[in-house]
Structure 1
Amino acid sequence: MKTSRLLSFDLVIPCDAEDEDNLLQGINSYRQVQKLPPLVKNDRAMCLSDEIAEQLEDKPCSSTYGPNVLPGTGPQFSDYPKLLSKCDIDANHTKDGVILPVCVPKLVPTLVLTNYTHTPYAKYLNNSIYTGAGVGSEDNWMVLVLTTNTPGGSFASGTNLVKPLVGVLVSSLFMGLIVVS
């Protein structure tokens, strides 16, 4: 009962640009009750959650999406690789993460939080492997992306190591051409 009482506190989440931050705050309060560390914002997961929310924006709320669907069986995006690229995320760094979309008309704050904490999605929130999060919303859709601190779930960029290396190689080649000339 203690958990229910703490989750039923008057969480005031206005439906505006602060929706995502307030949802993350509510989820972290939930995790605190579960004696789990808070989720920290992950910029690339934030980007991806925004992109997915935009993709879902015009889709109606239905039983096809949301917490009644196992992650990975819900909305499928043919341009998922493009979304990852747009957010500078290497697909190899997403396999341990999870994307949790919910649809709540008018994004009623308490209902959005309940859709994460009192549904099958709660098992992900209760899992200490998840350490980071990104939250995005559009219209009736809220998308939570959970990340890990493992290479397979960090949502890291695969290009960060390549770009500087290419720059060094090009610079070295250019310097070699100057010296030889």
Structure 2
Amino acid sequence: MIIGCLQHTTGQLRNRKSGPSGTKSSERGETVTFADIAGVDEAKEELEEIVEFLRNPDRYTRLGARPPRGVLLVGLPGTGKTLLAKAVAGEADVPFISCSASEFVELFVGMGASRVRDLFARAKREAPSIIFIDEIDAVAKSRDGKFRMVSNDEREQTLNQLLTEMDGFDSNSAVIVLGATNRPDVLDPALRRPGRFDRVVM
């Protein structure tokens, strides 16, 4: 379980600004690192590979290794998933581009898919970078079984676009996608295939 000590870190982060390199590790501009988060040593250790990849993506290319692409951060609401994602960006000193999956769902069909395309286009322009999608289950519920999305073409189009964008990464794409959820059981199995969100940090 991800346990972010938010009360402990709030005071430290309030006045901390981005460094000279311009790290965008949060919407307010302050830089968060692993040192700011207590009690999640195992999660931080699992995310070290992501940090190393973002610091030196060319190394993976030279070695012919398969770069990481997507990671699911799983935990109850309020347990520090967002703060942990920001800390990955802070450790790697890369742009942190965040959104909530619920923002993708619009009354007009096609708007969600368009927003996903724009999000990934921005991340590629600013690479190496992190895309953080909070509450990813809002658009990624299973299309089969008891958790299937009920007749919502917009959500399905948005999910399909998200999967297409992740499949479109080439070996030189230095973009990591972090998704947060407290309901991994309802996610579409297609989201967890290799090259997508095939890693889980709890």
TM-score by length of 2: 0.26
The higher radius of gyration belongs to 1
